[in-house]
């Protein structure tokens, strides 16, 4: 989807780089970071302001829950749709656009990203 920026935040280099490559191949502008803290640094300096975020829940340095909490305090960032990607089972208590349990179906992930981009770009 042209003009839609997707930020993948995942500490697993293989997962992150594979998702970036897939999304670029599908026509998205995609980038990645290893942790919530690295993503906040990138976003703070406006080197990359995403339309959608794919967020791993369990990461060192700053996990997905802490990253989400910081986003909610910012007037612009709080409107970015977040798709939570988690390998853990159980209830997710964060208010997010969608949840994908790892390993997830790539077609389901692509449909969710497309829907999140459409909702973000419509505002």
For residue 72, give its domain range.
5-121
Q: Helices (H) and strands (E) in the chain — how many of each?
A: 4, 5
- The more confident residue out of 120 and 116 is 116
Domain of 30, CATH number, reads 3.40.50.2300
What are 94-112's pLDDT values in tens digits? 788 998 888 889 999 999 9
* pLDDT at residue 123, as a whole number: 63
Query: How high is the pLDDT of residue 1?
Result: 60
Taking only the tens place, the pLDDT of each residue in 19-51 is: 999 999 999 999 999 999 999 999 988 778 899
> What's the domain count of the chain?
1
| pLDDT value for 90 | 53
Q: How far is CA 12 from CA 4, 35, 87, 116, in A?
A: 23, 10, 12, 23
Q: How far apart are CA 64 and CA 85, in angstroms?
A: 9
Beta carbons of 67 and 40 less than 8 angstroms apart? yes
């Amino acid at each position: 989807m042209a003009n839609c920026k997707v930020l993948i935040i995942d500490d697993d280099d293989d997962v992150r780089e594979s998702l970036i490559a897939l999304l670029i191949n599908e026509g998205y502008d995609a980038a990645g970071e290893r942790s919530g803290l690295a993503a906040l640094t990138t976003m703070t300096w406006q080197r990359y302001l995403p339309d959608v975020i794919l967020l791993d829940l369990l990461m060192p340095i700053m996990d997905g829950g802490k990253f989400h909490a910081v986003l909610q305090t910012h007037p612009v960032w709080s409107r970015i749709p977040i798709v939570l990607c988690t390998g853990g089972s159980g209830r997710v208590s964060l208010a997010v656009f969608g949840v994908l349990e790892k390993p997830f179906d790539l077609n389901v992930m692509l449909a969710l990203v497309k829907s999140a981009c459409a909702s973000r770009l419509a505002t």
